[in-house]
Structure 1
């Protein structure tokens, strides 16, 4: 078990076996604290580095380059650019958490893309909407080509957002922000092609689907999580939590959306609800949903060599490279 900090005193809030909040306000994280350093991955040849984009708030990103981009003789065209938002219920994990680092090494190598993983500030020390504000700062930094890797090697006209769990929620919110500020994005020469929401963390006041019976306790836990990471929230039907209530859902500033759900995941019905809401809206793009049988929440992070995880990577590779094939 990895513990980020220790403290004594009465526990006033507990989120599963991942986080404890004590009466004195101190926080203990029981998961997601391990750190994988940026490096050249020996298995894939992918190179990564960390960049602080805001010294005032300590927002940082981890950039990834595929092996092909490191060789000028083989690198001729700029590569698709992925901005990735990690999960962890808005309260644990980082861009350097080994499962995320290893996953992005594998994805960048397989898809031959440039990737940027965002390290936003976490609740409860920094309650929502901080994670969204930090993520938008990172998006603006990326689009302004704030790093030589992005400027020289990434194609801003083939920009993608993706994230899992809480990161899937963030990826959706960032696509809305892009849609609301499309004039600025267009003037920058960037184009958000698509977003991928992997087992997205959405919710709502009313129970739906399996939440009514099988996953009733799971929904209760997630409802509690939302109130801890966003104490000022007035309703679980706030559009940030429940996108089916979002009046701006048709303003997503992308052309394609891929929603990924897992059969055993307690959030699977929320993914389907989002998919249905997009289909009902007047949004002009294409939305697809894919279910992985027999798997649970973010299975690809913790069983990365399993058949389903490998198939998942292959699916993402196809999504990011569709324009190239066409």
Structure 2
């Protein structure tokens, strides 16, 4: 638009204009799920988790729970899209989560985060304003009645909390100001990635922050992460593949003597899986 010049063009993802408005070029479609999926029997529901933030979610409940009083493990799912495209209601993820809820017998919460109007989406630059597990449990009777929330270590992972069962990172969005081993040194590609991060976080965080570069995380914080198992998956042609592997290596190092001291009364070791281009290793 001539009266509102483009400031950042991150095609094919989005364009950002001088006025602050954003034109999304991908990931805008919304799934229209039936109340009960005819193939799997999984029921879905859209709920508002926090009307102030606002944070909303799509819930998936397996067929065996819909008329019972039992509980099943809770899977909290955060959609991909580099914090600028897709949503919790995207048709990209809906079929996968429906099948997962049915086959794994899970109550799935596909959560989206608040999106300030001036930027494409809200990266996890702060925990302020983000809902706790308690907020999720109060959002809907499905969660309060059927979600197994006894392991609530996901709220912070401090010593004295029980660890949650596991975490899976699929193509994690990690980057940094300087190239690491195995990462592209192409000036143009790195400039594009750096510009994208500045745009999605509103310029609030640089490339040397722990939110984008996990190597900047404090060692004690990694050791205290309340999680029993971690799987890290990256794609062969993903620009961020090397950084995902570096994060996996950092997690492995955190299982040393320092971590054992932190969890000595109830920790029985941490299992890690690394998957990349057909290469699967268990540690």
- TM-score over 0.5 (shorter chain): yes
The corresponding residue for 2:191 is 220
Unaligned runs of 5+ in 1: 1-5, 160-173, 295-311, 313-326
C-alpha deviations, 1:12-48, integer Å up to 9, x for none? 1122311010111111101111111343222221111
The corresponding residue for 1:292 is 277
C-alpha deviations, 1:152-180, integer Å up to 9, x for none? 22222467xxxxxxxxxxxxxx95x5213
Which structure is larger by alpha-carbon Rg, 1 or 2?
2
Task: Find the partner of 1:97 among 62, 84, 90.
Answer: 90
8 Å CA contact 1:122–1:131 kept in 2: the answer is no
The corresponding residue for 2:157 is 179
Unaligned runs of 5+ in 2: 261-269
Q: CA deviation at 1:125?
A: 5.6
Moved over 6 A (4+): none
8 Å CA contact 2:184–2:239 kept in 1: the answer is no
C-alpha deviations, 1:202-226, integer Å up to 9, x for none? 111111234235x765443222211
Q: Are 1:57 and 2:28 an aligned pair?
A: no
Supply the distance in 1 between the matched residues of 2:272 and 2:190 (Cα, whole angstroms): 25
Q: Are 1:254 and 2:249 an aligned pair?
A: no
Instruction: Report the CA distance shift for 1:266/1:126 in structure 2 as closer, same or farther (over 3 A).
Output: closer
How many aligned positions are there?
263
TM-score (norm 2): 0.82
Q: CA deviation at 1:236?
A: 1.2
Supply the distance in 1 between the matched residues of 2:132 and 2:94 (Cα, whole angstroms): 18
C-alpha deviations, 1:62-101, integer Å up to 9, x for none? 11101222243xx7x5211100111111122110011111
TM-score (norm 1): 0.72
* Equivalent position SS for 1:196: strand
C-alpha deviations, 1:198-252, integer Å up to 9, x for none? 1100111111234235x76544322221111123445412111111220022221
Q: Are 1:16 and 2:7 an aligned pair?
A: no
Supply the distance in 1 between the matched residues of 2:49 and 2:252 (Cα, whole angstroms): 36
Q: Are 1:68 and 2:40 an aligned pair?
A: no
Q: How does 1:155-304 map to 2 (within 5 A)?
A: 155-157=148-150, 175=154, 178-180=156-158, 183=160, 191-213=163-185, 217-233=188-204, 235-247=206-218, 248-281=221-254, 282-284=258-260, 285-293=270-278
8 Å CA contact 1:83–1:139 kept in 2: the answer is no
Task: Find the partner of 1:26 among 21, 24, 28.
Answer: 21
* Equivalent position SS for 1:206: coil
- Across the aligned residues of Structure 1 and Structure 2, the Cα RMSD in angstroms comes to 2.8
Instruction: Report the CA distance shift for 1:20/1:104 in structure 2 as closer, same or farther (over 3 A).
Output: same
* Equivalent position SS for 2:274: strand
Instruction: Report the CA distance shift for 1:292/1:138 in structure 2 as closer, same or farther (over 3 A).
Output: farther
8 Å CA contact 2:167–2:231 kept in 1: the answer is yes
C-alpha deviations, 1:121-175, integer Å up to 9, x for none? 23616654467545x4153312x4442212222222467xxxxxxxxxxxxxx95
Supply the distance in 2 between the matched residues of 1:129 and 1:106 (Cα, whole angstroms): 28
Supply the distance in 1 between the matched residues of 2:58 and 2:205 (Cα, whole angstroms): 34
8 Å CA contact 2:74–2:108 kept in 1: the answer is yes
Supply the distance in 1 between the matched residues of 2:207 and 2:196 (Cα, whole angstroms): 11
* Equivalent position SS for 2:92: helix
Supply the distance in 2 between the matched residues of 1:32 and 1:212 (Cα, whole angstroms): 26
8 Å CA contact 1:219–1:266 kept in 2: the answer is no
Q: How does 1:41-52 map to 2 (within 5 A)?
A: 41-52=37-48
Supply the distance in 1 between the matched residues of 2:106 and 2:135 (Cα, whole angstroms): 18
Q: Report which of the two has the higher share of helix.
A: 1
